Amino acid sequence: MDKKSIIGLVLIFAIFVGYMWWISPSKEEQAAMRAQRDSIVAAYYDSVRQDSVTRAEQDSVRQHLRDSILAENPDAVIDFDAAANGVLSQADMRKQLGVFACNWAEKVDTITVKNSVFEVDLTNLGAAVNKVTLADYTTYDSMPLVLITPSADNMNLVFSTNDNRVINTKDLYFTPYVDGQPVEGSKQIGIDGDSLTVSYRAYAQQTTDTVAEEGDKGYVEFLYTFYPDRYEVGYHINFCGMSQVIRSDNYIDFTWKNHMNRQEKVDRSSRGSRNRNKDAEKFNSNVYFKPTKDKVDNLRMGADGSKQVKTPVEWVAFKQQFFCAILLGDAPFANADLATKTDKQDTMRNYLCDMSGTIGLNYDSEKDCSIGMQFYYGPSKYRELREMHKGFERMLPLGWGFFLIQWTSRLLIVGFRFFAGFMSNYGLIIILLTIILRTVLFPLTFKSYQSSAVMRILQPEIQALNKKYPNQDQALAKQQEMSKLQKRAGISPLAGCLPALIQMPILYAMFRFFPASIELRQKPFLWCDDLSTYDSILDFGFNIPLYGDHMSLFCLLMFGMQFFYTWYTMRGQNASAAMPGMKFMMYFMPFMMLFLFNSQSAALNLYYFCSLSITMLQMVLIRKFTSEKKVRARMAAYDLKQKNDKNAGKKSRLQQRMEEMQRMSEQMRKQQQNRR
């Protein structure tokens, strides 16, 4: 490294340190920020610990019903206190709900079904899945992981009746049954046998009485089937005796929504960023769907968006970084309107985004019918999703567009599962896999490293060529002489191109795999408590633009190794007129990676650090065992062979074409200079 390069690097580092000092807040400002942050955290914990069915939620539900009734009949007088005593005006109810006006209850009751993998809350209001909590997982701050957030409109079936009323099932209080037996009030139920069924019925009363025998009424039924150790939930919508009630349509709309909670750690300055390097959970949270005659598709990554799918759809999924909720139809859905939206007014610390889908269900109004579906509420594990044979694994960002990337990701998954069978430390597994990968790639990279070692030996000849051809207009002649020199030494200028091209997809596969691997989630290694997200050894308490509010040690180690690797490979290279700019870029690259990867997963930075360390060791050993005496002997043997060979002056077609291209490029450069 020459004097100018050293001065430039020192200046860059000084500017960086000075900038950090200049933007750092005072002690008073840091204290104020800490107080504000603590108050936000306290408020967040208070909100999370609230029960999902509180008096406030009941009031909001009642207000929602009040608004829907008044929209149909502005003159209606609704007294919910009176309704609680059973004296709500039957006329007002019939104006809004018609034959479904009998579906009214005093309060919202919840049936909680619990198995070994999750806990599901079902409510009689709307017969909806109100909340899903996964059993074996927690959020980044050790809170229960709520996959489906309580809301008044998580699920809603919309249809029209023959008396021209639009019925939203989210407004109806359904009658609950457990294994065919009616139940009252809120219940908590475990699964003792092979399965458990919970059904909710909304009756259509044809008589004028507010009470009628169940046998005299048709009904709409939402039937849920739960299993002991499975994330799947069977789901059927049954229509019994509804042919004279529901209008004849080819399909009816089913609305599915979720207010997504943030489950993973994120840098405060990166929260909500569309950059995958900053907010991986936001970028990887999206609505996915599978058209019947096409590949798995999704909405725009990392941004709000919507899409109308007018062709049949097999399934729809709300996916986060490591978890997903999937709705699969026994028969394809008729169509789907899908959307993701971020509410800018929602400032809750754990808010991520809103996802929704309005799905067309094929419906036969001429007879009793059943629409079969299935929910999946669980982790996005490759093997479990693949075993369902529905293409769910295509939601994982494993580089499906290029075979080498996807097969590298699949092999990594297999490697993780294999070593996890007898190793519990995933940091050691990453190191072991890195060693295996670099060993497998070594035959491909050997020629490149050997060429670099030989070029160091040829530095006297290269410096002589630089002195012989100092001007820019002599670049073509200089390049030709350089090619002859490399040929004499037995190396090819293209020797490192093929290995580099092969390694690029593998590096990209690592870049996509580690932040999306749930196997690494909340797995500790050394000072890092979660390999799936960034490790922080120092929280600044303030944000540094482009860098963040923390310092990642694995990123610093990767930066230090990359800088040392650059210095080692660049030292001894002659600083010709064309080299200073390239040298600056090579030394600038580690600093750029420091900023880009500070918020990346610790596993990714660990891999890059280990990979660079192994590469460095391989290069040192190759240079040590590359004998200058052998290189000089090879050059002498080549000169002797050329002297005795009659065809020595002939050039290959590739060499002729390259020289012709160089001449044309030189002529174009001269023409441009003459025009100036």
Cα–chain center distance at 152? 28
How far is it between the farthest Cα atoms of the chain? 115
Residue type, 676: R
Question: CA-CA distance, 221 to 239, in Å (whole number)?
Answer: 6
Give mean pLDDT in consecutive 10-residue pieces for the chain, a chain of 676 residues: 58 60 56 54 46 44 50 47 42 70 80 92 92 92 90 89 86 90 88 88 67 62 93 93 82 91 80 69 90 90 88 94 93 93 81 91 85 94 90 86 77 84 88 88 74 69 70 64 67 61 77 85 89 86 79 90 83 51 75 85 91 86 70 67 61 62 68 66
φ and ψ of 243, to 5 deg: -65, -30
DSSP 3-state percent helix, strand, coil across the chain (nearest 5): 45, 25, 30
Domain chopping of the chain, boundaries: 1-49+535-600, 100-241, 248-396, 397-533+601-638+656-666
**Backbone phi, then psi, for 589, in 5-degree steps?**
-55, -45
- Angle between the 475-488 and 628-644 helix axes, to the nearest 10 degrees? 100
- What was the pLDDT predicted at 582? 66
Handedness of CA 597, 600, 601, 607 (dihedral sign): negative
CA dist., res. 191 & res. 186, Å (int): 16
Give the residue among 278, 502, 516 at the shortest CA–CA distance from 380.
516
Q: Token pair 């999937």 is at which residue? A: 326
| H or E element in which residue 84 lies | helix 80-84
Q: Give the strand pairing for 110-114 and 187-190.
A: parallel
pLDDT at 137: 92
80 token code pair: 């919910």
- Judged by DSSP in three states, 254 sits in strand
Q: Three-state DSSP class for 24?
A: coil
